[in-house]
Amino acid sequence: MPASFAQLNEEKESSPCLEREERAPVNMWGAQRRVALDVLMACWGLGTWLGVNGLYVQLPLLVDRLPEGWALPSSMVMAVQLANSGLLIYAVLRRLLPRVSDAYYISGLLVIGTLALVLNAFLYEHTAVIGSEERSIAYLALTFFAALVGCTSSVLFYPYLRHFRDVYLATYLVGEGLSGFVPSLLALVQGVGGAPECLPNEDNTKLEPHYPPARFDTTVFLVLLGGLSAASLASFTVINNYKGFQSERVAPAAAAKDDEATSERPSLLVPRWMGVMALMAVLNALNNGVMPSVQSYSCMPYGTRAYHLAVTLSAMANPAACLAGVWLRPVSARALAAMLVSACVPFAYLLATALLSPAPPLQYSAGGEVLIVVSWVLSSGVISYARMWVYGWARGGGARGMRLCGALGQLGSVLGSASTYFVVNYTGLFVQPDACPAISSLTHL
């Protein structure tokens, strides 16, 4: 494989949202295209992060029903991070079976993701005792397999797109953005059912919470996502095998026209590069580790509805940032710095509410509920855009820069997830109250 071809593929993997911006001569939307292939590309892209995003927006319904309680998000974040092992598995398979087409790996991943969602729909409440604590083994294990699709898509899906004309990259990216938007939209329609009612158990020794049902339960939600994942698999099968799209493919040598192999690249061992890469590590630690792990503690004291809205609306921030990268010019470094500084205020507030849980400020007021949701949406939106901006900036360093950016970003995610998991589960900084008071305490009132 020519060096320039390999570098081009690495950059597409790491910075999909900015590909159109960097390759300005390509008219993504105005060029002649096959609409049917556009639709199939979008449906295929929908399957990338569908499982992770879908399971994530179900957390407001699950944290009160699974034994981990409010600590469930931190366990889920660790399961998703462990799914990055899929990259190592793929690398080993490529070494052992170099002649196997990537199309087989892509199809296999989508099959795994579809089965994980469908099985989780019926098994997520199955638990097992590990040590002395009850754990949601089925839910977390199947979350791992669902996350394999998204975590491995960067090294499989984007390189496969080189076989088709550049105009289809945009519609694939639209589908990838929908993998976060569609589950959030379904979750908004689903609702959360409201606050629990405390009723005595059978022997009248304690009160147990009884949650009113949502418009449809988690089983129905995950079956719907499983159907969408199956549609993604079917779309890719048609894209890969239908001879009628042969005219939309490109010769393998066409991708080697890029002249990056001879372009000079700046040194990466300079303060500016090191500072921006450190920023990427911090942003990923916050976005993929700290924030999702503490969100239940920050939002649940304001009610299940507040948690539900914060999760679903925040999940829409990433595709919105991606679309901003496709349509708008990147902001200047100073403007980005101003955005990040301003985002420190809502971020500090949401972190303070998590640490003060279960009695944060403005707990029983409508203003407190609105403020916590807005804080989460603003923080998530700015961090998502900043991550995309860094990816675009790193393109100036060529393939080396993109590799460094991806590696440090992933390192930040792992460190943020692991450290927050330890703090949430093994310290007393984050507290979950009992859903219902003890009967003995009610007798003294």
Is residue 114 within 8 A of residue 229, CB to CB? The reply is yes
pLDDT at residue 267 in the model? 64
Residues of the chain short of pLDDT 70, as ranges, are: 1-32, 193-196, 252-269, 322-323, 325-327, 395, 398-399, 402-403, 435, 437-445
Give the residue from 86, 73, 221 showing the smallest Cα distance to 152. 86
- CB under 8 Å to 37, separation ≥6 — which residues? 164, 168, 239, 245, 248
pLDDT in tens, 16-71: 344 333 343 444 444 567 889 989 999 999 999 999 999 999 998 898 889 998 89
What structural domains and CATH numbers belong to the chain? 7-432 (1.20.1250.20)
Tokens of 272: 């500016």
Paired tokens of 50:
């569908």
**Closest to 162 (Cα-Cα) out of 21, 45, 6:** 6
The CA distances from residue 124 to 61, 138, 277, 344, in Å, are 12, 6, 38, 36
Task: Look at residue 206 in the predicted model and tell me its pLDDT.
Answer: 74
Q: Report which secondary-structure segment, H or E, holds 209.
A: strand 207-210
The pLDDT of residue 9 is 35
**pTM of this prediction?**
0.78
pLDDT value, residue 162: 79
R_g (Cα) of the chain, nearest Å:
23
Q: CA torsion 191→197→203→205, rounded to 10°?
A: 120
**Residue 182 CB-half CA count within 13 A:** 24
Q: What is the DSSP string of 25-57?
A: TS-TTTS---HHHHHHHHHHHHTSSHHHHHHHH
Q: Residue 101: count other Cβ atoms within 10 Å of its Cβ.
A: 10
